[in-house]
Structure 1
Amino acid sequence: MTHAIAPRLILASASPRRAELLKQLDNDFQVIPSTIEEQQQAQEAPSDYVKRLALDKALAVAETIEGPALIIGSDTLIDCQGQVMEKPRDQLHSTQMLTQLANGTHQVRTAVAVVAIADNGKRWQQVLELVTDVTMGEITAQQMQDYWATGEPADKAGGYAIQGGAARFVRSISGSYTAVVGLPLYETGQLIQQGRQWLESLR
């Protein structure tokens, strides 16, 4: 009697934050970062942009491996009144973004995609988006300068990490905290389960 090979679980991201979150769902996974270009297209809405990136990351890694496997792609962006805020280019850009975010509410858009690959090459894919409202209070110029000096904002969308030093600036959030960090745990768990069920249905 032969036993079916259990599908590998793969995270298509080099983000240590996403890896730490995924460990809360399943500690047995591989990290294979995607190298796709992250560039918003002309006239592309923030919602479409974040979902496309999440799915493209998973699909790019799917092209390099054989099944059975489940690949997770995710992307997070800051949407401030329809303007997408990427990672800051330098301290001045970081200050400009935090000034714009202070004393107001913006949306954190996080998309997660799961691509399942069967051993016969068949594929299943799903992608979803979560939107979390984040309200920030006042941020002084000195606080912005001190925060930049920590090095934390340099590689974060919108120039801040809610799980880090920027927590002191956040008055409230409405939505998924783990989505703001980078990987919505409940929804990711649901998608992984659906992907595994799809793979099981092919046996």
Structure 2
Amino acid sequence: MVKIVLASSSPRRKELLLKYNIDPIIVKANIKEKTYEEEKPEQVVMALAFEKANDVAKRFNNGEIVLGADTVVACEGKILGKPEDEYDGIRMIEFLNNREHEVITGICLIKAGTNIKIIDYEKTIVKFRNLSDKKIKKYIETGEYIDKAGAYGIQGFGSLLIEYIHGCYFNVVGLPVSKLDFLLEKHFNMSLL
């Protein structure tokens, strides 16, 4: 069985892989996440996913599949990554309040020791409810916004902020497992099943 190496320290991505009986080797990529103001969010997440996977793949050479992923939230031409602090988290939630936005995750799969590199992305539309200042403040007080693109986590209290989603729920969590399964099947003759 080919080993999967997750080029991420994201507990959410690891949990998702474990749900599908994949126990990944966890290796945090040693890259500086840049902001790409002029680029489209799809290009940004694919570039960052590639940088993460490529950095980690250099440490392996036995055909392991290295998975890099990066998620951003995009709304009205602005790209939202992870909030820097509580105030940044409030600012992001206020900006997304009562708006539709896109959650975009880039995926890169690299077969270690080869030149095989697959890069793709998944996009999900999310609409926030019309939230009161009190609701926003209470959400931020949960601390759930920390280390989350767009300052919310759909799998927890953040679900209470959402009116609807169109697309892959797991993409909003941080790893579009259906897209991942499709890419593994198509390019590596593997499946999450």
TM-score band by shorter chain is over 0.9
What is the RMSD of the two structures over their aligned residues, measured on CA atoms? 1.6
What letter is aligned with 2:50? L
Write the distance in 1 (CA, Å) between the matches of 2:50 and 2:21: 21
Q: Which piece of structure 1 moves more, 185-194 or 165-174?
A: 185-194
Other-structure match for 1:166: 158
> How far apart are 1:24 and its partner, in Å?
2.7
Write the distance in 2 (CA, Å) between the matches of 1:34 and 1:92: 27
Other-structure match for 1:142: 134
Please give the TM-score of this superposition, normalised by the length of structure 1.
0.88
> How far apart are 1:190 and its partner, in Å?
2.1
Q: 2:98 aligns with which of 103, 112, 116?
A: 103
Write the distance in 2 (CA, Å) between the matches of 1:78 and 1:26: 28
Contact 1:10 1:31 in 2 (8 A): yes
Give 1 or 2 for the bigger CA radius of gyration.
1
Q: State the SS of the aligned residue for 1:115.
A: strand
Other-structure match for 1:28: 23
Write the distance in 1 (CA, Å) between the matches of 2:86 and 2:63: 45
Provide the aligned length of Structure 1 versus Structure 2.
190
Q: State the SS of the aligned residue for 2:36.
A: coil
> How far apart are 1:67 and its partner, in Å?
1.6
Other-structure match for 1:56: 51
Unaligned runs of 5+ in 1: 1-5, 199-203
Write the distance in 1 (CA, Å) between the matches of 2:13 and 2:98: 28
Unaligned runs of 5+ in 2: none
> How far apart are 1:194 and its partner, in Å?
3.6
Write the distance in 2 (CA, Å) between the matches of 1:36 and 1:54: 11
Write the distance in 1 (CA, Å) between the matches of 2:82 and 2:107: 19
Contact 1:36 1:56 in 2 (8 A): yes
Q: Which piece of structure 1 moves more, 12-21 or 80-89?
A: 80-89
> Identity, % of aligned pairs?
32
